[in-house]
Every structure is written in structure tokens, then in C-alpha cells.
Amino acid sequence: MKLTQAQAEEIVSGALERGAILGKALSIAIVDAGGFAVLIKRSDGARPLTPSIAMSKAYTAAVMERPSNMLKNWAESNPGFFAQLSTMGTHPIVATDGGVTIKRDGEIIGGLGVSGGTPAEDQKVCDEVLAELGYELEFPAWGTGAPRK
Amino acid sequence: MKLTQAQAEEIVSGALERGAILGKALSIAIVDAGGFAVLIKRSDGARPLTPSIAMSKAYTAAVMERPSNMLKNWAESNPGFFAQLSTMGTHPIVATDGGVTIKRDGEIIGGLGVSGGTPAEDQKVCDEVLAELGYELEFPAWGTGAPRK
Amino acid sequence: MKLTQAQAEEIVSGALERGAILGKALSIAIVDAGGFAVLIKRSDGARPLTPSIAMSKAYTAAVMERPSNMLKNWAESNPGFFAQLSTMGTHPIVATDGGVTIKRDGEIIGGLGVSGGTPAEDQKVCDEVLAELGYELEFPAWGTGAPRK
Amino acid sequence: MKLTQAQAEEIVSGALERGAILGKALSIAIVDAGGFAVLIKRSDGARPLTPSIAMSKAYTAAVMERPSNMLKNWAESNPGFFAQLSTMGTHPIVATDGGVTIKRDGEIIGGLGVSGGTPAEDQKVCDEVLAELGYELEFPAWGTGAPRK
């Protein structure tokens, strides 16, 4: 299953509506399962680097196959090693709020990244918009996942 | 004058319509005057790296203040130096078709990059959509420009 | 459709058998559709960098969605721009023989890279092993592909 | 003594069997004494970056001539300097569990890296498989070694 541009637009629209309600100028990024950009949008007034921040969150969520905030324990317990992860991919691997894996029917099809709000707001926007659109938000705790069947 | 998300959407829509007529799956990037992403969209079927290629064209057109194909003479006459340019910014500076500066009332407000067609098609899409929307497509030849007033 | 380790092993075994017949110590790399390694194997006697060369060929074939030798025209017509492509991914984008896209039922599921023989041998190994195993070897000429349906 | 492909296969098979018993999808990397890849294998279900992580552990264990977790004191006592080490080789030098030097008859012939389990699991897989296959697991403490004879 490939994430389509229409699906990406739907997610981004939902995220931007929530940003408008919060009164925050957000940037939103959507990547496919391989971490390649599908749609990146910066709201009027969002700071210049927010699209790149959103992209790194979306990339992390896709290629690490977990929401980016599930990596916090790893980043805190071995920050040097964690920093080196970023040299292994195309974009930084970030341990922060606001990046959530896009999953449907158990299959990872991409990543969503939100930047421009507080960490809690960025996270809430991700969770709400993906839940509303029927994507799955259950992920096994880091380090305990069974092999994919 | 700041390039708005609404303007970016209008340009990207026009470019994608032309891609559909050509039968090509395009990726389109729009950056602001500082070269920061405003909108990046990858059509269904466009190759994974096309958003990055489009971004480098848009970035080049914005921060070099000329369409990217106007840099071909420079790139050919001094390729080593030209390659080093790419290390000075956030994205590669490319000398190729498909990147055009977004200018209105004499003011440079951003860059448009198109990837996914032939070089001639990418360029034609840029030129047509910007002309149709009333942006200016006259740029002084490279190396001959008077100091900016 | 995800490329499995069993499929990768089958392709690599076939390639190494052909290397043995040619009397060449080959390195073989298989990546998934996103360009991430699935299996890399260096034969006894293959030179130290051949696994990395094979990896760059496999990566190119996967993310450019064409065999790596189909990029030769592009690389020759605009070498500076082509070189900059490599900064956009995780591995170099190479225009050479010995990298072929892995495609089944019209879907791109990965890339195969072979290094250690002559360019013609590397290419022949790719083509023969993929044909024998029932993968598709028809790719639209570069720049003429219709959008994916 | 050169590490052969047959030896690498034997080690990787043993490691993957242990991964299956643990219920973890692992990636395994084997490098030679110079840190060049011999065999990299990603199990079905292992995350996209795990082959690169396993590679960095194997590389570290080979070129630092110690298991990667013996570098933790150094990394903690001088993190800035340790981070710079990573710029001196081809792959990151990592101070973490899951990378063990491959040594036989007192000679260092390569490195093994495991990624995909918990740090303790990755380490246990390395130690068990190398011990079972008769490799030596005694290494002088870092910074106390006498000159190599």
C-alpha cells in the first residue's frame, strides 16, 4: 500500500485546521515508507526552519517505525550513539514530540511531522488528525517488538 | 512582499495541471526569498528523489536570483568553483532547467522548482505557470547586472 | 509487496553462481524499495570497496526506479548536476552498469547491485539472475515515463 | 588469517537463530580486519536503519580492536573527542552494546555487529555465537594494553 498524494493532502489539511484553532502557524511534512517527501507545507507565518524540522520528525517516524517521542529513552540513555544515527539516513533522526508513524492495517506507509507549536501541541495535532482519519496509533514499546509477520 | 501559502498553492496547482497534460508525474517545490521551503508536493508516481531535485532548483532560483538554467555558462566555464558553491548553502546550487525565480513588481519573492519531466518540459512548466499568474520572467544576463537599487 | 530475506538470498545465490562461472569474486547488494540494505555479501577475494560499490548500484536502481546504466545519458549531458544528486540520498547515485531495479507485477520492490567483474559482466549477472527468477526487466526510457497508475 | 565468507555465514546464521529464539528481528553485520563489509543481513521485519547500525558496531569492534561497549568509559569521559573519532573512519565509531571483535589465535580478523534487540540482547547474541564457534572473547582493558608484539 502506497501513501497517495490525496491521503497526504487530507492529513495535512486536518493538521493545519488544528493549527488554526490553536492559533499557531505550523509546518507539516508527510513522507512515504522509505522516508521520501510526499508533501511539505509551511503556513504563512511559520518560521523558516519549521519545514525542515517537520521533515526530520516525519522521516524519523517512518524509518524508525515508531513515533519520534518513543525514542526519547534511547536518546537520553546513550546520547552519543543516538546522535550518530543521524549520519546513517538522509535526514536527522530526532527524539522529540510531533512525529508519528502513519500506519493502516498493520502496515507502515509513511510518517507525519508537525512543527511550529509547543511540543505538546505538535504531538496532539499528529495524534488527533491520524486518529480521526482512521490510522492506527498503537506501537509496541521500543525494544520489545516481535518480528513482523 | 512575502510569498504566501495561497500563492504557492496556486503556482503548484498550475504546474501539476501542466504535468497531467504532459502525462508526467512531477514534483514541485516553492521556496521563499531566503530559500526556505513553502510548499513541496510529489505527484503519485513521481520518483523518490524528485522532491529533493525540485527543491534544489527552487533554492537555486531564489538565492542566486536567476533561473537555474542561467547558471549553465558559469558551471561549464568553471565547474570546480561552481561545485564549491553547493557547499555554501543549505541545498545544492544547480545549473539546469526547471528552476525559475519568482518575481513580482521587480522584487524577488521566491523560487519555483520542477522535476520529473524532461529538462525542456520542466522548464516549460515553470515558464508557463509563472507567466500565466503574472510573475515577471525578465532577468538580466548573469555577470552583467547593475548594482541592485 | 515487501522484498523478503528469502527472495534476497535467492537472487544473491544466483548472482554468486554466475560469478563463480565467470571466475570473478563478486560483491552483491540487495536493497528494498526505499533503498535500505536487505542483504550484502562479499565473496572471498572480492576487493574491500566492492560491497559499497554494489550498494550504491542497488540504491540507485531502487530509488531512481531504473537500472543504473539508464542514467548514463543524464550523467554525460550534465555531469555537475548529476553529481549533486548524490547529496540528496543516503548513498551515491551512480550511472554505470551492474545495478538493476527489482520489479514484479509492475511494482518496484528493490534494487540489485553487482560489483567485481567488468561492467559488462556485472550487468549480465544482474540481467540473467533477475530474468531467471521471474522479475521484470522492462523499464520505460528515461524522461518518457507516464505517471504510475 | 582472513575471515572467509563461510565463517561469516556461520556467525550470521548463529546470530539469527538466537534472534528467532528471542523473538526479535535482527540485522547482523560482519566486517573484515580493515572494517570492510563481508556480510550484512537484515531479517524480515527488522527496521530500515538496523543494517547500518549493525555495520557501525562491527566496524567499531574491528578497527578499535575491542568490543564496542568497552569504549563507553572513553565516550562518557570525553564525549566531544569521542564524537570526532567518527569523522576519522568510514563508519561511525560507537560506544554501545552489540559489537564484538572477531579474534582467533590472538589475531583480530574482523568484527560482528548486531542490531534490533535490546542492548543486552544484542550483546548476548554476539558473545554467545562467537563463544560457541570458538572465537576468543578476552580483550585487555582499554588504555592498559601493552604494545602489540
B contact chains, 3+ CB pairs < 8 A: A, C
Helix segments in chain D, DSSP class H: 5-22, 50-63, 72-77, 79-85, 119-132
Residue A145 lies in a domain: no
Which residue numbers of A have CB closer than 8 Å to C's CBs? 32-36, 63, 88-90
* Predicted local confidence at residue B101, as pLDDT: 98
* Predicted local confidence at residue A86, as pLDDT: 86
How far is residue B70's CA from residue B48's CA, in Å, rounded to a whole number?
26
Residue C71 lies in a domain: yes
Residue A40 lies in a domain: yes
Does B have 3 or more CB contacts under 8 Å with D? no
How far is residue B27's CA from residue B52's CA, in Å, rounded to a whole number?
9
Using an 8 Å CB-CB cutoff, list chain D residues near C44. 2, 4-6
Contact A48, B34 (CB under 8 A): yes
Crossing angle of helices D5-22/D119-132, nearest 10°?
A: 130
How far is residue C51's CA from residue D30's CA, in Å, rounded to a whole number?
12
Q: How many residue contacts between A and C have a Cβ separation below 8 Å?
A: 19
User: DSSP character for A88?
Assistant: G
- Residue range of the domain that includes C16: 5-132
When CB atoms are compared, the residue of D24, D83, D118 closest to A80 is D83
For chain B, what percent of residues have pLDDT higher than 90? Answer: 90
pLDDT digits (tens, 9 = 90+) for B2-48: 999 999 999 999 999 999 999 999 999 999 999 999 999 999 999 99
Q: Which segments of chain A have a pLDDT < 50?
A: 144-149
For chain B, what percent of residues have pLDDT higher than 70? Answer: 95
CA distances for B27 relative to B42, B128, C82, D141, D145, angstroms: 4, 16, 17, 54, 57
* Tens digits of pLDDT across chain D (149 residues): 899 999 999 999 999 999 999 999 999 999 999 999 999 999 999 999 999 999 999 999 999 999 999 999 999 999 999 999 988 999 999 999 999 999 999 999 999 999 999 999 999 999 999 999 999 999 998 765 455 54
When CB atoms are compared, the residue of D46, D47, D56 closest to A84 is D56
Question: Searching chain A, which residue's CA lies closest to the CA of residue C108?
Answer: A2
**Interface contact flag, D42 C43, Cβ < 8 Å:** no
Using an 8 Å CB-CB cutoff, list chain A residues near D79. 79-80
How far is residue D55's CA from residue D114's CA, in Å, rounded to a whole number?
8
Average pLDDT, integer, range C66-93: 93
Q: Grid coordinates 536567476 are at which residue?
A: B66
Residue A48 lies in a domain: yes
Q: Give the dihedral of Cα atoms C100, C102, C105, C107; nearest 10 deg.
A: -100
How does residue C149 score in pLDDT terms, banded at 50, 70 and 90?
very low
* Predicted local confidence at residue B130, as pLDDT: 98
* Predicted local confidence at residue D147, as pLDDT: 54
* Predicted local confidence at residue C87, as pLDDT: 87
Residue B138 lies in a domain: no
Checking if the pLDDT of C144 tops 70, the result is no
Using DSSP, state whether A40 is helix, strand or coil: strand
Output the domain CATH number for residue A36: 3.30.450.150
Radius of gyration of chain A (CA): 14
Residue B45 lies in a domain: yes
Residue C139 lies in a domain: no
Q: Give the dihedral of Cα atoms D122, D128, D130, D133; nearest 10 deg.
A: -150
Average pLDDT, integer, range C62-71: 97
| Nearest Cα residue to D36 out of A27, A17, C54 | C54
Domains in chain C: how many in total?
1
Residue B142 lies in a domain: no
- Segment (H or E) for B17: helix B5-22
CB within 8 A of D128, min separation 6: which ones? D14, D18
Cα three-residue angle D40-D44-D46, rounded to 5 degrees: 70
Question: Searching chain A, which residue's CA lies closest to the CA of residue D79?
Answer: A80
A contact chains, 3+ CB pairs < 8 A: B, C, D
As a whole number, the mean pLDDT across chain A is 94
